[in-house]
């Protein structure tokens, strides 16, 4: 077995007991990246820096130093996230040569835990769309089936993990951008509660919708990276200065109160409906108490677009004239639409966020977890028109956000934790994801439930 075939926790244990070398692990990861270049998962590969860090990590092992939980384990970081001394492009020509002086909080914490950065993964410009393309790098392919999208915007991160180019990745999620590619590539991805993983890059920390989070091949590895990057930072207005409230961890699914949301006002592909329903039935067989609920998340689409497009207009708009011919046409379109939104539109969107938050808080008085498909259809064709109408179950279904992933972006608007985990495959072998969402600060509880579901699904 190659080292990259091990889970992160297995590899960390092998390094700790000197049965594996950090240098060997990094070399294995780098060789796999080179061998799978057609996937186009990385914008920047940090080969020399990673090998130098691996040599230092190996020396620490041999010297008997105290080792962090991820000591010597290779991992990747989405190219929206700051990495000191390593080019961070935001997937855009605007930042093509930008080299940050400081690490993002999650990156600094992963480094302190001993993880070794092997590269920056692909993302559409500023994570603005759910198709894995950008002028600066081209197209990223799904390692399961290149005819279908790997999801976005943490596209390269999901592909790297799914293809065995590293067992761990940091992604970001502004509307489903961790969970959607996790679903499309058959891995696990977590968007934590607002403030639990500090994200100080947001231009407006008081209206933050974008989250940094862990991606891995199973729930236990996702928990491992999450444990490293979570925690209070006084610079984050939503961080807690004291201990995060915790409920007792569930030891089984028996008695768990599950709100099952097969559709949120959107059409659903029959295969996704069948596979996710079977997963919920597996939870029932383990003793969970399931009740089908109704929520109209599709109605939030226009408010989500106001938030996203007005943010892009404010952040990117000044660069259109200088970089226009080097930017994605869909980014330019989003900026132009954002310029047309009024302050009243933005406040209306804020009011809608509040109503959704209140609705979910009311729901979580009765239920322990909200379960739904992550997306309403298996991975869509890679050459789809992201600005046009998508097909769900072979029928025209509307715009991509309202039709394909209305389950994900509400959790960004409200700050509730949510994760995607694999729960089966379509008839042609495409991954299908199950989303679990929980109460604020129930991140560890949510991961514990996910591990039990993972076990129930075999």
Contact in structure between 121 and 33 (CB atoms under 8 Å): no
Angstrom distance (rounded) from CA 100 to CA 105? 13
By C-alpha distance, which of 172, 49, 17 is closest to 115?
A: 49
By C-alpha distance, which of 249, 257, 218, 170 is closest to 444?
A: 249
Q: Which of 21, 92, 155, 177 is catalytic?
A: 177
Is-catalytic flag, 78? yes
Other beta carbons within 10 angstroms of residue 384's beta carbon come to 17
Q: Which two tokens stand for residue 262?
A: 């097969």
Using DSSP's 3-state secondary structure scheme, residue 331 falls into: helix
Q: Which of 76, 78, 129, 310 is catalytic?
A: 78
Q: How buried is 362 (Cβ within 10 angstroms: 0-12 exposed, 13-18 middle, 19+ buried)?
A: exposed
Q: How many residues does the chain have?
A: 458
- Compute φ and ψ for 276, nearest 5 degrees: -70, -35
Q: Which of 153, 154, 376, 426 is catalytic?
A: 153
Q: Are strands 168-173 and 211-216 parallel, antiparallel or unpaired?
A: antiparallel
By C-alpha distance, which of 108, 80, 177, 182 is closest to 408?
A: 177
Angstrom distance (rounded) from CA 390 to CA 404? 8
Give helix 443-456 / helix 219-229 axis angle, nearest 10°. 170
Q: How buried is 166 (Cβ within 10 angstroms: 0-12 exposed, 13-18 middle, 19+ buried)?
A: buried
Taking CA atoms, 191 is separated from 170, 171, 211, in Å, by 11, 9, 6
Q: Which residues contact 362 (CB under 8 A, 6 or more apart)?
A: none
Give helix 443-456 / helix 270-285 axis angle, nearest 10°. 100
Is-catalytic flag, 153? yes
Q: Which two tokens stand for residue 187?
A: 């891995």
Is-catalytic flag, 365? no
Taking CA atoms, 356 is separated from 38, 125, 223, 346, 371, in Å, by 41, 28, 27, 15, 16
Contact in structure between 398 and 261 (CB atoms under 8 Å): no
Give helix 8-16 / helix 219-229 axis angle, nearest 10°. 70
Contact in structure between 148 and 378 (CB atoms under 8 Å): yes
> Looking at the annotation, which residues are catalytic?
78, 153, 177
């Amino acid at each position: 077995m190659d080292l990259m075939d091990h889970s992160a926790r297995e590899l960390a244990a092998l390094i700790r007991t000197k049965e594996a070398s950090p240098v060997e692990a990094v070399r294995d990861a780098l060789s796999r990246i080179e061998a799978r270049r057609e996937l186009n998962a990385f914008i920047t590969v940090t080969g020399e820096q990673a090998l130098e860090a691996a040599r230092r990590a190996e020396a620490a092992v041999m010297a008997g130093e105290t080792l962090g939980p991820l000591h010597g384990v290779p991992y990747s970081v989405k190219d929206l996230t700051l990495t000191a001394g390593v080019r961070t492009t935001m997937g855009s020509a605007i930042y093509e040569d930008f080299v940050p002086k400081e690490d993002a909080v999650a990156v600094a914490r992963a480094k302190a835990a001993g993880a070794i950065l092997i590269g920056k993964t692909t993302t559409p410009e500023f994570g603005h769309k759910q198709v894995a393309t950008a002028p600066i790098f081209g197209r990223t392919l799904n390692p399961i089936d290149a005819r279908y999208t790997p999801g976005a915007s943490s596209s390269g991160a999901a592909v790297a993990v799914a293809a065995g180019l590293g067992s761990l990745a940091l992604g970001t999620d502004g509307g489903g951008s961790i969970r959607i590619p996790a679903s499309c590539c058959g891995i696990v991805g977590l968007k934590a509660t607002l403030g639990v993983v500090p994200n100080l890059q947001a231009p407006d920390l008081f209206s933050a919708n974008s989250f940094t989070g862990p991606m891995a091949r199973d729930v236990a590895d996702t928990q491992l990276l999450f444990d490293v990057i979570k925690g209070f930072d006084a610079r984050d207005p939503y961080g807690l200065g004291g201990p995060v409230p915790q409920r007792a961890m569930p030891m089984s699914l028996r008695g768990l109160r599950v709100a099952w949301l097969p559709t949120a006002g959107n059409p659903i592909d029959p295969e996704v409906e069948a596979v996710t329903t079977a997963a919920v039935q597996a939870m029932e067989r383990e003793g969970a108490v399931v009740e089908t609920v109704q929520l109209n998340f599709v109605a939030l689409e226009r408010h989500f677009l106001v938030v996203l497009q007005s943010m892009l207009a404010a952040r990117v708009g000044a660069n259109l004239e200088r970089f226009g011919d080097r930017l994605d046409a869909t980014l330019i379109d989003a900026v132009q639409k954002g310029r047309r939104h009024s302050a009243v539109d933005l406040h209306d969107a804020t009011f809608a966020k509040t109503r959704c938050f209140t609705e979910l808080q009311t729901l979580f008085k009765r239920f322990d977890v909200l379960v739904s498909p992550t997306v309403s259809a298996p991975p869509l064709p890679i050459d789809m028109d992201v600005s046009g109408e998508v097909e769900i179950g072979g029928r025209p279904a509307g715009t991509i956000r309202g039709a394909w992933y209305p389950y994900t972006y509400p959790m960004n608007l409200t700050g509730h934790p949510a994760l995607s985990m694999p729960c089966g495959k379509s008839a042609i072998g495409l991954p299908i994801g199950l989303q679990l969402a929980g109460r604020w600060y129930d991140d560890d509880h949510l991961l514990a439930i996910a591990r039990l579901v993972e076990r129930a699904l075999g």
